[in-house]
Structure 1
Amino acid sequence: MKSYPGTSHFTIRSNEIDYRGQATLPALVSYMQEAAWENTRDLGISMYDLLERGFTWVLQRMRVEMFRYPKHGESITVETWASGRERVFLHRDFRIYTSEKELLGQATSVWLVMDVVKRQLVSVPDFIMEVEVVPGQEPLPFAKGKLPQLQEAQCAQQMPVRWHDIDLNRHVTNTRYLQWALDTLPLEVLEKKQLQEVDIIFKAESILGDTVVSEVGKGAEESIFLHKLLSQSTDKELVQAKTVWDLKI
C-alpha cells in the first residue's frame, strides 16, 4: 500500500484559547496529532492497529512554526502526510490552513515504535514498512541535530503527574509536557510575546505518581528560551525544548 495525505477539519473551541482569544499551541498540536491518527487509521497503522500487535506509536520530536494563531470559532484544516523514513525514525509533516487556504502554521515530527510490554523501542515492524512512503507535498526539513543545553534555569516549577495527564500509552501525554514547559516561562513573556517556533524532543517517559521538574532559561538571543523537564525521583531528563518568541506584539 502507498501512503497518501490526510485532511482533517476542526473548529477552535472556547476551552482551547488564551486571553487573546487565540488557540494555544498545545491545542493545535493536539489537532495535528488527531489528524495523524485519522490518516494512519485509513492506512491501517493507527495506534489501535499497533496495540493489537503489542506495539504503539511514540512521538520522539516535533518542530512547529506558527505564522498566525486561529481564533475562537475559526475553522481550520490540518493536512498531514508521511514525509520520510530513516532507519527506526518515521517522519510526518503537517500544515494548518484556514478555510480560505491561508497557511497558519506547519510542523515536522519524528515517530518511533515501542513494545508496550517491555517499554522498549523496537525496529519498525514489517506491516508498517509495507506502507510505501509517498509524500503528498515537498517534505519539510527533518528535525535533526542537538538543541542547545539549558545552562542556568531562570524559573522552575514542580508538576505532579496526575490521572488526567496520562494517555493511552499509560504515560504523560506529550502535549502536557509542552504545556508544562510553556507554563514555566515568566509571566511577562507569556503576556507580551507571541510564540513563533518550538522544537521539542521527548527523551523518556513519566508515569502516574511521578513529579516532573520543569526548568527554563534564556538562550543565545533575547527571543529564545531553553527548556528542560526532569524526573524529580531519578533526575532523568524527560524533555528538552527550544522556543522562539516574537518581540513585536
Structure 2
Amino acid sequence: MKSYAGATQFQIRSNEIDYRGQATLPALVGYMQEAAWENTRNLGISMYDLLERGLTWVLQRIRVELFRYPKHGESITVETWASGRERVFLHRDFRIYSAERELLGQATSVWLVMDVVKRQLVSVPDFIMEVEIVPGQEALPFAKGKLPQLQEPQYEQQMPVRWHDIDLNRHVTNTRYLQWTLDTLPTKVLEQQLKGVDIIFRAESVLGDTVIATAGTGDSENIYLHKLTSQQTGIELVQARTVWNMLERLELEK
C-alpha cells in the first residue's frame, strides 16, 4: 500500500488563543497531531490500530517554524504526510495554510513505536513497513542532530503531573511538555512572538511525578534553551530550543 498526504481543516477556537487573539503554539501542534492521526487512520496505522497489537506511536522530536499565527475564528488547513524512514525513525512533515493558501507555518517530526506493556521502544513492525512512503510534497530537512545544552539556568519552575496532563498512552502528553517548556520563561519573553521551536522528548513522566522545568538564554538574546527533568529520578525528560522575534518586544515597549 502506498502512503498519501492528508489535509484536515480546523477553526481556531477561543480557548486556544493568547492575549493577542492568536492561536498558541501548543494549540497548533495539537492540530498537527490531530491531522496526523486522521492521515494514519486512513492508512490503517493509527494509534488505535497499534494499540490493538499492544503498540503505540511516540513522538520523539518536532521542529516547528511559524511565519504567521492564525487568529480566533480563522479557518486553517493542516497538510501532513510521511516524509521518510531511517531505521526505527519515521519522519512526518506538516504545513499549515490559511483559507487563502498562505503558508502560515511548517514542521517536521520524528516518531517511534513503543510496546505499551514493557514501555520499551521496538523495531518498526512489518504492517507499518508495508505502507510505502510516497511523500505528498518535497520533504523538509529531517530533524536530527544534537541541541545545545542548557549550561546556566536562569528560570526554574516545578510542574506537578496531574490527571489532565495524561494522554492515551498514560503519560504526560507532549503538548503539555511544550506548554511547560514555554511557561518557564518570564512574561517579558512570552510577550515576544515565538518564531520556532525544536523540542526533543527523551523520557516519560506519569501521574504523581513532579517535573522541574529550567530555561536560560542561548548564544543570542532571542534564543532560549530549555530542559525538563524528573524530580524523582533526575532523568532528563525534554530538551528544547526556542527562537523569538525581538521586533515584537520592541513594539510592545514603545
TM-score for both structures, normalised by structure 2: 0.97
Q: What number of residue pairs does the alignment pair up?
A: 248
Identify the residue that residue 43 of structure 1 maps to in structure 2.
43
Identify the residue that residue 189 of structure 2 maps to in structure 1.
189
In the alignment, structure 2 segments of 5+ residues that lack a partner are: 249-254
Q: What SS does the corresponding residue of 2:247 show, helix, strand or coil?
A: coil
- Counterpart of 2:93, as a letter, is D
Q: What SS does the corresponding residue of 1:248 show, helix, strand or coil?
A: helix
Q: Distance in 1 between matches of 2:144 and 2:171?
A: 25
After superposition, the C-alpha distances for 1:52-72 in whole angstroms (9 at most, x for unaligned) are 000000000000000000000
- Counterpart of 1:129, as a letter, is M
Q: Distance in 1 between matches of 2:184 and 2:57?
A: 28
1:82 Cα deviation from its structure 2 partner? 0.1
TM-score for both structures, normalised by structure 1: 0.99
Q: Distance in 1 between matches of 2:186 and 2:216?
A: 10
Identify the residue that residue 155 of structure 2 maps to in structure 1.
155
Moved over 3 A (4+): none
Identify the residue that residue 102 of structure 1 maps to in structure 2.
102
Identify the residue that residue 248 of structure 1 maps to in structure 2.
247
Q: Distance in 2 between matches of 1:166 and 1:173?
A: 6
Q: Distance in 2 between matches of 1:199 and 1:190?
A: 17
Identify the residue that residue 67 of structure 2 maps to in structure 1.
67
**Residue 172 of structure 2 corresponds to residue 180 of structure 1:** no
**Residue 14 of structure 2 corresponds to residue 17 of structure 1:** no
Identify the residue that residue 89 of structure 2 maps to in structure 1.
89
- Counterpart of 2:105, as a letter, is G
Q: Distance in 1 between matches of 2:7 and 2:138?
A: 16
- Counterpart of 2:16, as a letter, is E
1:241 Cα deviation from its structure 2 partner? 0.1
1:186 Cα deviation from its structure 2 partner? 1.2
RMSD: 0.3
Q: Distance in 2 between matches of 1:74 and 1:130?
A: 38
